[in-house]
Amino acid sequence: MPENLAPIAAPPTSIFRTDNGVVLRTPTGDFTLAAAMAEVLSWSGTELTARVAAASAPATFTERMPLLDGRGEVWAAGVTYEQSRDARMEESETAASVYDRIYDAERPELFFKGAAWRVVGSEGTILVRADSEIDVPEPELALVLNSAGEIVGYTICDDVSSRSIEGENPLYLPQAKAYAAACAVASWFVPATEVPDPTNLTIQLVIERNGEAEWAGRTSTNLLHRALPDLAGFLFRENVFPDGVVLSTGTCLVPDLPFTLQQGDVVRVGIESLGELRNHVQRGIGTGIVQVSRDLAA
């Protein structure tokens, strides 16, 4: 039985969305920052830093909400770690060389993961497809980018994926990765000024089954093959994100085949300095699509 790794502590400073606006949490308390996350992600990095420093009005709220609102989106990068390349080549039935070539190509693999209303927050339910045999979480450092493409913060993403569907044919990637509740993002982000070296952070993944650790692993962002500003730059080429965007940067913690998530599993993704994202697993939408849609739109 793998070690059930201890949760990574919540960050002392973070920004999150609530039922009463966007809140800044610091060691001295919670303070009102803005009415909407889209507003926060319209500010320049300099303005965000200044507003964080000036925030003084105490915040009151009942519940925390998923991170993004408005026209916010989540995108993801693929094959940014050597282990990810090797795992994709192993699972691919017809096109292993595609993943080998993209690893060293100038242009990275980038794909759309979900609109704000499709993205699950902390403690929400993630879905694995009923028509897929092998499904895994992918724990990833995620960049929080403002509308100008600046990296203004960092958060945690679980890029839930069907290995069996993508492995059958790489053109099935949208079906393997972009469906209802296939993306979880922590309900907070940490300002970039609070994370001095995002390329040297410990990432850990624990998959719990029946209250025990079924799979666990740990790695570091220092194995990332791409520069973070380069990933952001390619995403903003010929594209606009008026309400900001979260860009997940890829994974290198991949459970060995034929491991798959099961109904009722709990997935914990922890990143040093950022805290822990925790989600529950459901197989197939079934009759739950109305509830999923309501939760994601909240």
pLDDT tens digits, 29-60: 999 999 999 999 999 999 999 999 999 999 99
| Nearest to 100, CA basis, from 117, 78, 130 | 78
Instruction: Quickly list H helices, 27-160.
Output: 37-40, 45-54, 82-91, 96-104
Residues whose CB is less than 8 angstroms from the CB of residue 287 and which lie 6 or more positions away in sequence, other chains included:
none
248 Cβ contact partners less than 8 Å away, ≥ 6 residues apart: 74, 75, 76, 77, 113, 140, 141, 142, 143, 157, 159
Residue 16 lies in a domain: no
Which CATH number do you get for residue 222? 3.90.850.10
Expressed as residue numbers, the domain containing 278 is 66-297
Angle made by CA atoms 165, 68, 72, in degrees to the nearest 5: 75
Below-70 pLDDT ranges, the chain: 83-96, 287-298
- Tell me if 23 is assigned to some domain: no
Task: Please measure the distance between the N-terminal and C-terminal CA atoms of the chain and give it in whole angstroms.
Answer: 38
Bond into 198 cis (ω within 30): no
**Domain assignment present for 195:** yes
Q: Does residue 99 lie within any of the structural domains?
A: yes
pLDDT in tens, 146-167: 999 999 999 999 999 999 999 8
Q: Provide the number of structural domains found in the chain.
A: 1
* Structure tokens given for 262: 């099961």
What amino acid is encoded at 159 in this protein?
A: D
Nearest one of 216, 226, 222, 197 to 269, comparing CA atoms? 216
Q: What is the pLDDT of residue 125?
A: 95
pTM of the model as a whole? 0.93
196 in a domain, yes or no?
yes
Residue 5 counted as domain residue: no
Radius of gyration of the chain (CA): 18
> How many whole angstroms from its chain centre is CA 283?
20
Residue 54 lies in a domain: no
